[in-house]
Amino acid sequence: MSLTRRDFARQSAITGAGVVLVGSVGALATAPNALAATETDTDGAAEDSAEARHRGVGYGPLVTDPKGLLSLPAGFSYRVITHSGRTKLDSGEFTPSNHDGTSTFDGPRGATLLVNNHELKGPRSGWTYPVPLTEGLVYDPAASGGCTVVEVRHDKVAEWVGIAGTSTNCAGGNTPWGTWLTCEETEDKAGQNGMTKDHGYVFEVDPQDRRRNRNPKPVKALGRYAHEAVVVDPRRGRLYLTEDASGPNGLLYRWTPPQGFEHGHGRLATLADDAGALQAFKCFDSGGKFVDDLSRATKTGTVYGVDWVDVQDRDARTVSVRKQFTDGQVTRARKLEGMWWGDGGIYIVSSYARTESPGQAHDGAVWFYDPKRRTLTLKVLIGVNPNPSADGAFDGPDNITVSPYGGLVIAEDGEGIQHLFGATESGRTYPIARNELNIGTAEAPAYSEFTGVTFSPDGRTLFANIQEPGIMLAITGPWKRQKRG
């Protein structure tokens, strides 16, 4: 049953515009531009230190890494898990480059398993370290991307191919049944960019059982478009998917399984290409007015009602899925990126809005979709960063995870300096890490984005990637529960 404009207007009149969500993360509300400055614990010379520590959030200022790789707060340390062109797979090839979306799983005998996307687009000849074409695990032998599975056990690391021959494996998402859904952020068809098969699909990778990854098959029921991330609603069985695209801006999608379908290992691959219902979101405000783009929201706490509109040609045989809708049919957003399930709903990132969006410019937003209430709430809004080359401000959130210590941890993919940063339950932010690896020049420094931010199953280790050249890092230290601030 759809949520009508009249229903939402009546609900908004009763509850008020700012819906407060209760849970481990709570309401990540903050004023516009509030995230431009970081918050850290400080002794405060003119203040009582205990009082200052009570008010402070985070882990203190970052300490410059003498090795020139990763700056962390005092008391924290990192370990390089994989490094493209340096570490090797079990089969002898070098670790592929361009690390992206990642998730962790419990492994055998206390090990941690990670599935790591490699965002490699186009033909294999364009990359020094593509994902090796492991026999039985290849979808399209012309494509350079895919996933590797990494096993971390104490001081030992092993890595092998989970899927190969896919393209532009960007984000993705884990499943309640213990697998990884890797997403292709491309719309290339066979014959384009050297490809021999159509791309722009979602594939399932099992980190536990290599045999289940043989003969990879795209889950065409989830549509063909520039996929970014995917989240599974563990209660209702629906899948939510973001699209990172422009001209026009991308969409948020919902896939509802066919009646009687039961999720489980490999079950998605058994679906017919048109199984279930694939729909795009359509938002309206408390007055019932249609919202054409999420950049129209200017204040945190903004709540939109959400309806869903059927996709007519999910395989986009002639027209891209997002272009099949007229401007008044769906709501759009620029750079819909990472998603993560938590607090009974989905945290969704829109990295920025510029001239390609009709509303207010911003340097990042985090929304929360409540599937029960069918509402979308703006939790974090980052004002435009006036000087990305200066340390201290954040911009361009991308991959995201819910922290076991409260709030969110966000990977930065903005301009200039790149961080991992946290956002508390009240929206205050603090730095966790800074990328010190200069891939530019001394005169024109450049720093790769962070990707794949995710905690180990026991919550003791934060894993994250530096996308270029492709480095997976394990961060440990005195993690603590973050106050609301």
What tens-digit pLDDT sequence spans the chain (485 residues)?
444 444 544 444 333 322 222 222 333 433 333 333 344 433 333 334 433 433 578 999 999 999 999 999 999 999 999 999 999 999 999 999 999 999 999 999 999 999 999 999 999 999 999 999 999 999 999 999 999 999 999 889 999 999 999 999 999 999 999 999 999 999 999 999 999 999 999 999 999 999 999 999 999 999 999 999 999 999 999 999 999 999 999 999 999 999 999 999 999 999 999 999 999 999 999 999 999 999 999 999 999 999 999 999 999 999 999 999 998 999 999 999 999 999 999 999 999 999 999 999 999 999 999 999 999 999 999 989 888 888 878 889 999 999 999 999 999 998 899 999 999 877 788 999 999 999 999 999 999 999 999 999 999 999 999 999 999 999 999 999 987 65
CA distance 101 to 97: 13
pLDDT at site 385: 87
**Rounded Cα gap, residues 474 and 478, in angstroms:** 14
**CA gap 82, 17 in Å, rounded:** 46
Torsion angle of C-alpha atoms 309, 314, 320, 323, degrees rounded to 10: -10
Q: How many CB atoms lie within 10 A of CB 176?
A: 13
Strands 471-476 and 77-83, how do they pair?
Answer: antiparallel
Question: Look-up: residue for tokens 């054409």?
Answer: 292
Cα torsion 366, 114, 23, 422 to 10°: value is -50
CB 473 within 8 A of CB 84: no
Strand partners, 199: none
> Which pLDDT value is given to residue 484?
65
**Predicted pLDDT at 22:** 25
Vertex 205: Cα angle to 316 and 100 (nearest 5): 80
DSSP state of 293: B
pLDDT of residue 54: 34
**By C-alpha distance, which of 306, 307, 409 is closest to 349?**
409
Q: What is the pTM of this model?
A: 0.90
Distance (Å, rounded) from C-alpha 142 to C-alpha 126?
Answer: 11
Could you give the CA distance from residue 186 to residue 203 in angstroms, rounded to a whole number? 13
Q: In what order do the strands lie in the sheet with 462-466?
A: 77-83, 471-476, 462-466, 450-455
Q: Of 191, 203, 192, which Cα lies nearest the Cα of 165?
A: 203
Classify residue 319 by its DSSP letter.
Answer: S
User: What gap in Å lies between CA 336 and CA 399, rounded to an integer?
Assistant: 10
Q: Which two tokens stand for residue 8?
A: 């939402």
Residue 382: alpha-carbon gap to chain centroid: 17
* Segment (H or E) for 5: helix 5-15
Domain chopping of the chain, boundaries: 1-30+221-376, 103-218
- Give the C-alpha separation, 223 to 314, whole Å: 5
State the pLDDT at residue 386: 87
| 446 to 286, 382, 438: CA distances (angstroms) | 43, 22, 5
